[in-house]
Amino acid sequence: MRVIKLFLLSVFFIGLLIFLLSLLLPSRAIVERSGVIDAPIGTVYAQINDLKTWQHWNPWAAPGTAQEIRYSEPAFGTGAYYTWAGVQTDKRITGKVTITNSDSLKGVYYNMDFEGMKSVKATFNLRPATTGTGTAILWRLETDLGYLPWWKLRGFLADRLTGPQLEDGLTKLKSICEGK
């Protein structure tokens, strides 16, 4: 009986220590990638504002990732959305992407909601490139993680896990906008 009490107390204090240490980690995960696309803002905006074009460059909208996609009508501009469903490691997952604000001079703001995951607020910020030609683009994902240690650990790793996918998406978007 004494061993069981000692074990339970140890588990409790280790859990408490992990929770207290997790309070030192940020409660918000931010992943950003940027680049310059040698195309006018209007060309880049047309790609990011129309959800139906996302399957050509966005890593999470690719046909192999999202097997079932349903678009709103219209599928572009503020209020447009698409829902998706797919299978990941033999488990059915679903989600929804909704454009919350769209401005041809500033960019597109949207929310991503995944079943069983934290909501993600995302933006594509557009501005003229400093070189005078082309468009500077910033793709930003932000997630409020709360205070649970496992979400904070996931947020700590967010840049390493999600950053390469953003880079790949921006590379494909650049190629499409530049007509390569």
What is the per-residue pLDDT across 133-148, written as a single tens digit (0 to 9) for each? Answer: 899 999 999 988 776 7
Residue 141 lies in a domain: yes
Record the tokens describing residue 99, joined without a space: 């454009």
Residue 152 lies in a domain: yes
Given pLDDT bands bounded at 50, 70 and 90, which one contains residue 78?
very high
The DSSP letter of residue 176 is: H
Q: Let me know if residue 38 belongs to a domain.
A: yes
Cβ(93)–Cβ(126) under 8 Å? no
Domain that holds residue 67: 27-177
- Residue 153 pLDDT > 80: no
User: What CATH number corresponds to the domain at position 140?
Assistant: 3.30.530.20
Convert the pLDDT of each residue in 30-45 to its tens digit. Answer: 899 999 999 999 999 9
Q: Is 69 part of a structural domain of the chain?
A: yes
3 falls within a domain? no
Question: Per the structure, how many domains does the chain have?
Answer: 1
- Within a domain: 56: yes
Q: How far does Cα 141 stand from its chain's mean position?
A: 5
Outline where the chain has alpha helix (H). 2-22, 41-49, 149-156, 158-177
